Chain A
Amino acid sequence: MKPISVIALISVLILGGLFIYVAEDIPAFGDPNSAPNRYVKLFSIDADEEIVGNLNQGVIPPGLMDKIEETGLPLPTKVEKARGLEGEWVEGEWEAFIIPEEKYYALPTTQFGTAPDAPKEQRYYLIKKEGDTLDVYRYAPIIRYMEEGEHETEVPNMVTYILADYRGYDTLGETTVIFTAGVSVILLLRRRGKMPK
Chain B
Amino acid sequence: MRGEKRIYERDVIIETISRLLIPFIQLFALYVIIHGAGGPGGGFQGGVIFASSFVLYLVVFGLAAAGKRFPEGANTALMSTGVYLYAGVGLLCILVTLGAAEYLNYGYIPLTHMFEENRALGMDLVEIGIGITVMAVITEIFFNLVWKKEEEGGKEE
Contacts and interface: CB of A to CB of B under 8 A. Distances in A.
Interface of A: 107-109, 112-116, 151-157, 159-161, 163-165, 168-169, 171-172, 175-176, 178-179, 181-183, 185-186, 189-191, 195-197
Contact of B120 (A113, A155, A159): A155
Contacts of A157: 36-40
A176 B87 CA distance: 10
A113 B114 contact: yes
Contacts of B151: 191, 196
Is chain B's interface secondary structure helix, strand, loop, or mixed overall?
helix
Given A161-B123, A163-B42, A196-B63, A183 B148 contact: no
Contacts of B118: 113
Contact of B100 (A107, A156, A178): A107
A125 B136 CA distance: 47
28 contacts: A112-B97, A112-B110, A113-B108, A113-B115, A114-B114, A115-B115, A154-B116, A154-B119, A154-B120, A155-B120, A156-B37, A157-B36, A157-B40, A160-B37, A161-B123, A164-B42, A165-B123, A171-B130, A175-B86, A175-B130, A178-B137, A185-B141, A186-B140, A186-B144, A189-B145, A191-B148, A196-B64, A196-B150
Interface of B: 36-40, 42, 63-64, 67, 72, 76, 79-80, 82-83, 86-87, 90, 96-97, 100-101, 104, 106-108, 110, 113-120, 122-123, 126-127, 129-130, 133-134, 136-137, 140-141, 144-145, 147-148, 150-151
B70 to A, nearest CB: 10
Contacts of B145: 189
Nearest to B101: A107
A151 B126 contact: no
A-B pairs, top 7 by smallest CB distance, nearest first, are A182-B137, A168-B104, A195-B67, A154-B116, A189-B144, A164-B123, A154-B120
Nearest to B87: A172
A182 B79 CA distance: 8
B64 A190 contact: no
Given A153-B119, A157-B40, A182 B64 contact: no
B45 to A, nearest CB: 11
B119 A175 contact: no
B101 A179 contact: no
Given A179-B82, A195-B63, A185 B140 contact: yes
Given A154-B116, A197-B64, A108 B129 contact: no
Contacts of B90: 168, 172
Contacts of B83: 175-176, 179
B49 to A, nearest CB: 15
Nearest to A183: B79
A153 B82 CA distance: 23
Contact of B104 (A159, A169, A178, A189): A169
A107 B37 CA distance: 26
B12 to A, nearest CB: 24
Given A168-B90, A189-B145, 12 more contacts: A113-B114, A116-B115, A156-B38, A157-B38, A164-B123, A165-B119, A165-B123, A169-B104, A171-B126, A181-B137, A186-B76, A189-B147
